[in-house]
A = this chain, B = another copy of it.
Amino acid sequence: MPVLPRTPYPIVSSSRLAANIQRMQALAQHAGVQLRPHSKTHKSPVIARMQLEAGAVGICCAKLAEAEVFAEAGISDIRLPYPINPSNADRVLALLDKVTLSIIVDDPAVAEEWAGAMTRAGKVLNVLVKVDVGFHRCGVNPAAADVVETIARIAAMPGLSFRGLLSHAGHAYTAESPYALAAIVAQETEIMTGLARRLREAGVPVDEISVGSTPTASFAPAQHGITEMRPGNYVFLDRTQVALGSATYANCALFVEATVVSRPAPDRAILDCGSKTLTSDGARGFNAFPGFGAVFTSPDAAGPDASIVIERVSEEHGVCRIPESSTLRPGDRVRVLPNHACTAVNLMDRLWLSDDHGALAPLPVAARGRIW
């Protein structure tokens, strides 16, 4: 008899995972854009290979240490939509010997450092310029008077092969309505295609316009001129995606199987999953419900039990407010849908893939914790 993992453990529905991969690939194909999934969500070369077999052109990684794991596992086309610092030029050069690699830059001085490092090594590095489309994290300001000149300067640097423009509308996660979400996508499309047009008019070829996030992905068919999208979360989905209208509960592939460990008061139950299992990432999305995850009282339930709210998380405790009439007792099992799959998975050394009969197989989170 196989030994079952002890709670809390992450359980992934193989069939939902496969369906999510197929659905996003179909969406990209219908829109006529290439799909390059972000691997930060699963950190698993096994799942990356499923995405590539479904038709993805390559993957994204956030950090070089993640890319090193995926390259070692044989993934051959990796994009780093992250402003890698040139102090890591040695690692980028080592990766260039193994894989097709591209990075982003958002600063001409940094681009010059990359150009110098590549020229000295006799190599060429594919770069895209990151554009700030309203998230106000990284990226060049598309409204700056000299933006075309700045990008043209980067595109002309020796040792760099300018591939195009890249954006991430991360502010989609804080959109206050579906209409606001649609407006964010429309603005991103306008900024990106408009900037590409101005660059082309200035004689700078723009081969790629890459956008990406799971909440904005379903708007892709409207994005004329976009060549690529880079959603990550869609493989598993989570409570935030449901709250943003990007998924239904029935799409969600990743849950945490947990045990009630205490019922210290009529209106309180304690789960064995806290911030070291679920993270302390709060609920997001315009339809967000309070709490640190949605509690399903049976694996077959169509939706969570809304009367159970994980009000607080300690490191190993999920403190639930429950109705006094609740029958929850120590030893009872529940399934928790995390607020944020990407950060929860990053706490786990392995996921447990479940087939339709409930048989479990371990899947290593190979690039877990590879933050450097």
Chain A interface residues (CB < 8 Å from chain B): 5-9, 40, 62-65, 82-88, 91, 106-107, 109-110, 113, 132, 136-141, 170, 259, 261-265, 268, 270, 272-273, 275-277, 279-282, 312, 314-317, 319, 329-331, 342-343, 346-349, 369, 371-372
The 3 closest A-B pairs by CB, nearest first: A6-B372, A83-B261, A138-B262
Majority secondary structure, A binding face: loop
- Shortest CB-to-CB span from A360 to chain B, Å, is 13
Residue from the set A84, A276, A314, A331 with the largest chain B CB neighbour count within 10 Å: A276
CB-CB under 8 A from A136, the residues of chain B are 264-265, 268, 319
Known contacts A275-B279, A275-B281, A280-B343: A8-B330 contact under CB 8 Å? no
Known contacts A138-B264, A264-B141, A371-B8: A346-B84 contact under CB 8 Å? no
Residue from the set A6, A109, A275, A277 with the largest chain B CB neighbour count within 10 Å: A6
A84 to B316, CA, bound (A): 11
A330, B83: Cβ atoms under 8 Å? yes
Chain B: CB-nearest residue to A170: B314
A347, B369: Cβ atoms under 8 Å? yes
The one of B84, B91, B140, B315 in contact with A261, judged by C-beta atoms closer than 8 angstroms, is B84
CB-CB under 8 A from A40, the residues of chain B are 315-316
A347 to B137, CA, bound (A): 23
Chain B: CB-nearest residue to A132: B264
Residue from the set A65, A88, A109, A315 with the largest chain B CB neighbour count within 10 Å: A315
CB-CB under 8 A from A83, the residues of chain B are 261-262, 270, 330
